Amino acid sequence: MIISRTPFRISFFGGGTDYPVWYNGNGGAVINVTINKYCFITIRRLPPFFEYKHRIRYYIREDVKSISEIKHPSVRECLKFLNHDDGIEMVHHADLPARSGLGSSSTFTVGLLNAIYALKNHMPSKRELAINAIHVEQDLIRENVGSQDQTAAAFGGLNRIDFGGNEHISVKPIVLSQEKIQLLQDNLMLFFTGLSRTASDIAKEQIRSTTKKSKELKTMLDLLEEAFSVLINKNTPMDEFGLLMNDQWQIKRSITKMISNSEIDSIYEAGIRAGALGGKLLGAGGGGFILFYVQPNKQKSVKNKLKHLLHVPLRFDYTGSQIIYSSHDDNF
Please compute the mean of the pLDDT values over residues 94-99 and round it to a whole number: 88
Q: What is the pLDDT of residues 111-122, one digit of tens each?
A: 999 999 999 999
- From 29-33, 85-89, 148-152, 298-302, the region with the lowest mean pLDDT: 85-89
Q: Are 324 and 41 in contact (CB under 8 A)?
A: no
Whether the per-residue pLDDT at 287 is higher than 60: the answer is yes
| pLDDT at residue 262, as a whole number | 85
Q: Alpha-carbon distance 24 to 148, whole Å?
A: 14
Q: Alpha-carbon distance 138 to 170, whole Å?
A: 18
Q: What is the pLDDT of residues 2-25, one digit of tens each?
A: 999 999 999 999 998 999 989 998
Which of 153 and 258 is assigned the larger pLDDT? 153
| pLDDT at residue 31, as a whole number | 98
| pLDDT at residue 166, as a whole number | 67
Whether the per-residue pLDDT at 210 is higher than 80: the answer is no
| pLDDT at residue 214, as a whole number | 86
**Confidence bin at 253 (pLDDT 50/70/90):** confident
**Confidence bin at 254 (pLDDT 50/70/90):** confident
| pLDDT at residue 100, as a whole number | 78
Whether the per-residue pLDDT at 206 is higher than 60: the answer is no
| pLDDT at residue 172, as a whole number | 97
| Reported pTM | 0.92
Whether the per-residue pLDDT at 42 is higher than 60: the answer is yes
| pLDDT at residue 193, as a whole number | 87
- CA end-to-end span of the chain: 14
Q: What is the pLDDT of residues 141-172, one digit of tens each?
A: 999 889 999 999 999 999 999 998 767 899 99
Residues 6+ apart with CB under 8 A from 246: 272, 277, 278, 279
**Confidence bin at 260 (pLDDT 50/70/90):** confident
Q: Kindly report the CA angle at 246 between 288 and 184, in degrees rounded to 5?
A: 80
| pLDDT at residue 196, as a whole number | 62
Pairing of strands 169-173, 158-163: antiparallel
| pLDDT at residue 285, as a whole number | 60
Name the CATH architecture for the domain at 178-315: 2-Layer Sandwich (3.30)
Query: Is 3.30.230.10 the CATH number for 2-175+317-326?
Result: yes
Residue spans per domain, the chain:
2-175+317-326, 178-315
